[in-house]
């Protein structure tokens, strides 16, 4: 388990006022998808970072302000892209269904 709390990841120890946080969960049919990957692409589509999802399907990125694309890659699923806007001082919660 990744230390996730019900309804999302814990922000304990994260100074949200100084961070732009993008986090969320990957699901299939309403169930979490563990061992998927979520990529962070910049506004030109350039690869920036990638993280695996936890057993509960959760992921998190710390980034700079701006427009981003999240790309979810899961076994036996189509690639799903989702736009997100990150801003210092806020948490962008994203649900991605594959």
Q: What is the pLDDT of residue 67?
A: 97
> Average pLDDT, stretch 30-52?
96
Q: What is the pLDDT of residue 19?
A: 83
CA separation for the pair 62, 42 (Å, rounded): 13
Lowest mean pLDDT among 2-11, 38-47, 61-70: 2-11
pTM of the model: 0.84
> Average pLDDT, stretch 86-92?
93
Would you list the DSSP string of 36-84?
Answer: -EEEEE-TTS-EEEEEE--TTSEEEEEE-SEEEEEEEE-TTS--EEEEE
Q: What is the CATH number of domain 16-97?
A: 2.60.40.10
């Amino acid at each position: 388990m990744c230390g996730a709390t019900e309804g999302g990841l814990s922000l304990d120890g994260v100074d949200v006022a100084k961070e732009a946080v993008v986090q969320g969960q990957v699901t299939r049919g309403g169930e979490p998808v563990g061992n998927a990957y979520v990529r962070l692409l910049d506004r030109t589509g350039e690869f920036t970072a990638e993280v695996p999802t936890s057993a509960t399907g959760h992921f998190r990125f710390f980034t700079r302000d701006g427009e981003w694309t999240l790309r979810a890659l899961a076994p036996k699923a189509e690639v799903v892209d989702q736009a997100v806007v990150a801003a210092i001082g806020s948490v962008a919660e994203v649900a991605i269904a594959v």
